[in-house]
A and B are shown apart, each in its own frame.
Chain A
Amino acid sequence: MNLRHLLIILLAATFFSHSFAQEPTQSKTREEVLNMTMEEMSSLPLEELMELMDIVGVSSIEELYDLLLNKNVVSASKKEESVFDSPLSTTVLSHDQIIASGATCIEEALRLVPGVIVREKTNGNYDVHIRGNDNLPSKNLLLYSENMNTLVMINGRPVFNYSHGGILWETLPVSFEDIDRIEVVRGPSSALYGPNAVSGAINIITQTIDYNTPLLSGNFNGGSQNTYIGDLALRKQVSDKISLGVTGNFETRDRKTDEIFIYSRDGAQLSVDGENVDDGYFTLDEINRMRSGEQEIWPPYMVGDEVYDIYKSFPNPERSKYRYGVNGYLNIDPTSQTSINLMGGYQNSEVMTSTMGDVPTPYSTKIASTGYLDLRAKIHDFSLQANYNGGTIDYMSGNEGFELDNEQYSFLAEYNKTFSNLSVRPGVSYQSISYDDSKHISEIGKGYLNQKQTINIFAGSLRLDYMPTERLRLVAALRAEKYNNMDDVYASWQFVSSYKLNDKNLIRAVYSRANQSAFLVNTYSNYTWNIVNMEFPRIMQFDGHTDNKLKTMDMVELGFRSRPDKSILIDVEAFYNRSKDFVALAPDMTSLAVFNPLEVIAETQAPDINAIVNLSFQNMDLISNQLGASVSVDWVLSEKLMATGHFTYQKTTVDNYVPYSRNEILGYQATIAQSDPDLMAKIGQALVDYGTGVATGEIDPTQQTYAVINSVSETPEGEEDDFEHKATPSYWGSLSFSYRPWKKFEFFPQAYFYGDQSFTNQYGIIDIEKSININAKASYKATDNLTFFVNCRNLLNTEKTQFAYMDKIGGLYLAGLSFKW
């Protein structure tokens, strides 16, 4: 496009913007109102004055200031306050901001939030971490790349995966039409919200239904990669005291391929139909015929009458995401000081994303079907919340033992009393979290839990918010929680001070500690895996520990917030945090055993010697240290142009880093066991002991089919300190604009970028190059009730992997409409 064309377009845009802006409305034009004197207008009755304001004010710049720069937040102090005054690192994404941005799901919208690193795994499935600290410990399962550090809530109701730890984003039942805003608090926040708010909390606040709420509203869009996303809301305030609503949402997306990646685990030779192949992407049919060495890589097996094979593990390999949800709302305000909010819903989802287990591929299919009921009540200064989440989640479809029923009950009661300059908020809470795999396994022992197991958490909390002067604010939040399976009482806290230098500048300091909860698998695992697709080892035994220490993070943070002009808000935060007491699956012991002892004793076979490995979910010595800073700027340049940007830099180092994978440790132990100078004698003794045991009835040969020769629990030396952890990019950020050349048109381009990263799991190291993702949405507001748009995600179709081992993410081109009546 040459300069002359550009100039013509700009002049045309300016002409149209003024033409639209000067549309006459009612009896007076906007220009006429703007020319009225104060005296004239002050003589008018209020209702006429309001009409004049309506003519003038619709898109005034002050409104943009309010929408972008003067947002309110609840989650930082559990009371409504201006984001500028928030004592913690806080960001609020409003509904309008999310819709304007073109984000296609909640996770993607979080790319607008400072400090949040968001990487797409497969179309519509994302890794989301506040400030990173992800994939710790490394050289382990992909499970530890899940975000176990952030508590996601819907109206304060935890939606967290307590079985393994992590967030199952696709199981959130709500969508954009439900959401009023998303509040993100960065930094340890267990003292406010309980366990797992380690790196922060994300609170999704649903819309208040009032007389201004449209009766019917919705968004629909569809486009490439068979992507269709929509939601619909029907809501009404039926009287001054009662409002109700129902919402529904759906989402379906495809991948660009129906093939999945197969590892060459520890160098084993892969072959298909006898032809050697390297690791890479294969169809399900090829994998069904594939061997790893001599073993079938994905052998089918029976559970009852059901065949578990590759096709059950990946029922829809071409599809990345399918989900739908429905929600119901009932709000009753019996008096001005009392409110009751009841919310319930159901969701169903199936996604293809990174695995949480140890299979020959980094992919798994997760299938979930869950429901919830949430009751919130406020009676004068008391607030109560009670909720239930439950349903069935299959974390790895087609793998026996990973399908669990869950029931979670939470109860929270708090009382808030405000004196002149002191606010006191004591509270008690109780959580009971049960998972049960017994209905989904063929026999006891085939699951991790093999029965219903429960974690109970009882907690007391106190928050003091004191303003000794009009500028100085001191906050102390304390929480103590007791678990049913640990003797320790876990304490978390926040100590915050903020000082307003003047109305335009605020400085603040935070010292806080938060902890993870116990997870069911970490605590109660008792699982025996008879391995059929690897040559070594033969059996893996997984155990949990009820006395594991809980992971904790301590953080010191300094913040500066400035509004040098009313059109701009700058937020700077510098943080240092230290995490310890990580819990992860790690080897305890490797034992050599004869797996055909009766046949050897009968001298019909040579000894079949292989290994039995004992692993457990145990505390690691690992310590993570992270130093970083985030800067964000929101700037209303004019009525037509707003800019928002954020940038985060961080460096993570780890102490007591074990530079060995699970299999390397097991290999080390097996080598020692095999090098035992008395090995032959011990084999003989093991067979004698086994034979004697069978003869005396002490050993049931149908239950214990092997004779243990020797065991080794030593681990290799070489822990490292100050090891740089590169799973989180050293920098990332976003720059976006909202440009409205005229009233009916909005253009929202966004660039999301991150630096190099290096991801390590037990099967390799994946380097991911720095990248920039360009997104853009253009909206045309045909009427007050109807908007059409086109929406491009990854506009440049970069086809790059954003997360280790996962899909290359291409461009997504959508068109759609949103409406309200």
Chain B
Amino acid sequence: MNKNFLILMFLLLIGSSGKAFGQMTKFKALFLYNFTQNVEWPPNTISSKEFVITVIGDNDMANELKKLAQVKKVGSKTMVIKQTSQVKDVTNSHVVFLSSNKSDLMSRLAIQQDGQPVLLISSKEDLCKDGAAICFTTIDGKLRYQINEDNIIARSLKVNNKLISLGISTN
């Protein structure tokens, strides 16, 4: 039995993940964009022309959001996607997305952004207790999100009831 045949058998055995691969990040980006349609920021607090989304530690997510930014706006504002690997570099953002790899920094991020009108979203579940407004989670293979209304209101943001009701409240 030659080596190529063994490799072929192995690939057949483990199967190809095909188009499904990467769908989670794409849908998280779509969800995130949709969140911005259901949250209201106080007027003129950051930038009047740009809607700034900062992604910490997740290039794939930033790339998906950049694709969205090419075809979508938030209200009349152009979406600007910033990337960083450190919390200390986060400035003037409407939304901050924290990757799973950086989940240990959520408390630090929440305190660093204390009082700022920013929607803090984590890729990892159960971080609302550390200050996140929304945390992605999977339940029975379905993408869902946890939402903490108190953490949103505390940052002078307004959230509509639909976003609350479709999520899993952690209040």
User: In whole angstroms, what is the CA distance A561 to B111 when docked?
Assistant: 28
Knowing A42-B30, A336-B150 touch, does A50 contact B112 (C-beta < 8 A)? no
A421 close to B108 (CB less than 8 A): yes
What mask results when residues 624 to 644 of chain A are scored 1 for a CB within 8 Å of chain B, else 0? 000000000000011111000
* Interface presence of A38 (CB below 8 A): yes
B20 close to A66 (CB less than 8 A): no
* Interface presence of B34 (CB below 8 A): yes
State how many angstroms separate the Cβ of B138 from the closest Cβ of chain A.
Answer: 5
* Interface presence of B47 (CB below 8 A): no
User: In whole angstroms, what is the CA distance A62 to B14 when docked?
Assistant: 16
Interface-centre pick from B22, B71, B86, B139 (highest chain A CB count, 10 A): B71
B104 close to A81 (CB less than 8 A): yes
Q: A420 — nearest CB in chain B belongs to which residue?
A: B111
B141 close to A49 (CB less than 8 A): no
* Interface presence of A266 (CB below 8 A): no
Q: In the complex, which residues of chain B have a beta carbon less than 8 angstroms from the beta carbon of A46? A: 31, 34-35, 37-38, 162-163, 166
B14 close to A61 (CB less than 8 A): no
* Interface presence of A503 (CB below 8 A): yes
Knowing A11-B12, A470-B105 touch, does A49 contact B138 (C-beta < 8 A)? no
B34 close to A10 (CB less than 8 A): no
A640 close to B15 (CB less than 8 A): yes
B141 close to A42 (CB less than 8 A): no
Knowing A42-B72, A80-B126 touch, does A640 contact B163 (C-beta < 8 A)? no
Knowing A470-B105, A503-B102 touch, does A60 contact B38 (C-beta < 8 A)? no
From 533 to 572 in chain A, residues with beta carbon under 8 angstroms from any chain B beta carbon are 563
Q: Which of A72, A421, A503 contacts B101 (CB under 8 A)?
A: A503
B126 close to A70 (CB less than 8 A): no
Interface-centre pick from A13, A54, A470 (highest chain B CB count, 10 A): A470
* Interface presence of A25 (CB below 8 A): no
What mask results when residues 657 to 673 of chain A are scored 1 for a CB within 8 Å of chain B, else 0? 00000000000000000
Q: In the complex, which residues of chain B have a beta carbon less than 8 angstroms from the beta carbon of A421? A: 108
User: In whole angstroms, what is the CA distance A455 to B146 when docked?
Assistant: 45
The DSSP consensus for interface residues of chain B is helix
Q: In the complex, which residues of chain A have a beta carbon less than 8 angstroms from the beta carbon of B22? A: 62
Q: In the complex, which residues of chain B have a beta carbon less than 8 angstroms from the beta carbon of A30? A: 20
User: In whole angstroms, what is the CA distance A741 to B21 when docked?
Assistant: 17
Knowing A42-B72, A638-B15, A638-B16 touch, does A420 contact B21 (C-beta < 8 A)? no
User: In whole angstroms, what is the CA distance A212 to B24 when docked?
Assistant: 21
* Interface presence of B88 (CB below 8 A): yes
User: In whole angstroms, what is the CA distance A787 to B9 when docked?
Assistant: 28
B126 close to A418 (CB less than 8 A): no
Q: In the complex, which residues of chain B have a beta carbon less than 8 angstroms from the beta carbon of A72? A: 124-126
* Interface presence of B4 (CB below 8 A): no
* Interface presence of A595 (CB below 8 A): no
Q: Which of B20, B71, B101 contacts A61 (CB under 8 A)?
A: B20
State how many angstroms separate the Cβ of B91 from the closest Cβ of chain A.
Answer: 15
Knowing A46-B31, A49-B34, A470-B88 touch, does A62 contact B25 (C-beta < 8 A)? yes
What is the interface residue range for chain B against chain A? Answer: 35 or more
* Interface presence of B116 (CB below 8 A): no
A639 close to B17 (CB less than 8 A): yes
From 72 to 122 in chain A, residues with beta carbon under 8 angstroms from any chain B beta carbon are 72, 80-82, 84-85
B150 close to A39 (CB less than 8 A): no
State how many angstroms separate the Cβ of A191 from the closest Cβ of chain B.
Answer: 21
State how many angstroms separate the Cβ of A8 from the closest Cβ of chain B.
Answer: 12
Knowing A3-B1, A60-B23, A420-B112 touch, does A14 contact B124 (C-beta < 8 A)? no
Knowing A34-B20, A84-B101, A639-B17 touch, does A57 contact B143 (C-beta < 8 A)? yes
Q: In the complex, which residues of chain A have a beta carbon less than 8 angstroms from the beta carbon of B77? A: none
What mask results when residues 41 to 71 of chain A are scored 1 for a CB within 8 Å of chain B, else 0? 1101111011011101111111100100010
Q: In the complex, which residues of chain A have a beta carbon less than 8 angstroms from the beta carbon of B24? A: 57, 60, 62-63
B12 close to A49 (CB less than 8 A): no
Q: A85 — nearest CB in chain B belongs to which residue?
A: B104
Q: In the complex, which residues of chain A have a beta carbon less than 8 angstroms from the beta carbon of B57? A: 503
* Interface presence of A268 (CB below 8 A): no
User: In whole angstroms, what is the CA distance A72 to B106 when docked?
Assistant: 14
* Interface residues on chain A, number (Cβ under 8 Å): 60
A638 close to B17 (CB less than 8 A): yes
Q: In the complex, which residues of chain A have a beta carbon less than 8 angstroms from the beta carbon of B112? A: 420
Q: In the complex, which residues of chain B have a beta carbon less than 8 angstroms from the beta carbon of A85? A: 103-104
B143 close to A641 (CB less than 8 A): no
What mask results when residues 723 to 763 of chain A are scored 1 for a CB within 8 Å of chain B, else 0? 00000000000000001010000000000000000000000
* Interface presence of A574 (CB below 8 A): no
A639 close to B12 (CB less than 8 A): no
A57 close to B104 (CB less than 8 A): no
* Interface presence of A451 (CB below 8 A): no
Q: Which of B31, B85, B141 contacts A63 (CB under 8 A)?
A: B141
Q: In the complex, which residues of chain B have a beta carbon less than 8 angstroms from the beta carbon of A56? A: 20, 23, 27
User: In whole angstroms, what is the CA distance A42 to B70 when docked?
Assistant: 12
Q: Which of A47, A54, A467, A741 contacts B166 (CB under 8 A)?
A: A47
Q: B112 — nearest CB in chain A belongs to which residue?
A: A420
Q: Which of B35, B71, B85 contacts A503 (CB under 8 A)?
A: B85
State how many angstroms separate the Cβ of B112 from the closest Cβ of chain A.
Answer: 7
Knowing A62-B25, A470-B87, A638-B14 touch, does A54 contact B142 (C-beta < 8 A)? yes
From 79 to 106 in chain B, residues with beta carbon under 8 angstroms from any chain A beta carbon are 85-88, 99-105
Q: A77 — nearest CB in chain B belongs to which residue?
A: B104
* Interface presence of A316 (CB below 8 A): no
A14 close to B142 (CB less than 8 A): no
What mask results when residues 60 to 76 of chain B are scored 1 for a CB within 8 Å of chain A, else 0? 00001001100110000
* Interface presence of B19 (CB below 8 A): yes
User: In whole angstroms, what is the CA distance A504 to B57 when docked?
Assistant: 11
* Interface presence of A17 (CB below 8 A): yes
User: In whole angstroms, what is the CA distance A604 to B162 when docked?
Assistant: 102
Q: In the complex, which residues of chain B have a beta carbon less than 8 angstroms from the beta carbon of A57? A: 20, 23-24, 27, 138, 141-143
Q: A50 — nearest CB in chain B belongs to which residue?
A: B166
B124 close to A82 (CB less than 8 A): yes
* Interface presence of B33 (CB below 8 A): yes
Q: Which of B17, B30, B138, B141 contacts A41 (CB under 8 A)?
A: B30
In the complex, the 6 A-B pairs of residues with the closest C-beta atoms, listed nearest first:
A62-B24, A58-B141, A638-B14, A640-B15, A641-B14, A503-B101
Residues of B with Cβ closer than 8 Å to A? 1, 9, 12-17, 19-27, 30-31, 33-35, 37-38, 57, 64, 67-68, 71-72, 85-88, 99-105, 107-108, 111-112, 124-126, 129, 138-144, 150, 162-163, 166, 169-171
Residues of A with Cβ closer than 8 Å to B? 3, 6-7, 10-11, 13-14, 17, 30, 34, 38-39, 41-42, 44-47, 49-50, 52-54, 56-63, 66, 70, 72, 80-82, 84-85, 212, 240, 336, 418-421, 423, 467, 470, 473, 503-504, 563, 637-641, 739, 741
Query: What are some 14 contacts across the A-B interface (CB < 8 A)?
Result: A17-B15, A38-B26, A42-B30, A46-B34, A49-B30, A50-B143, A52-B27, A53-B31, A57-B27, A60-B21, A63-B138, A81-B103, A638-B17, A641-B15
9 more contacts with CB within 8 A, not counting A52-B27, A240-B169, A420-B112, are A3-B1, A7-B9, A14-B12, A57-B143, A61-B21, A336-B150, A421-B108, A473-B104, A741-B13
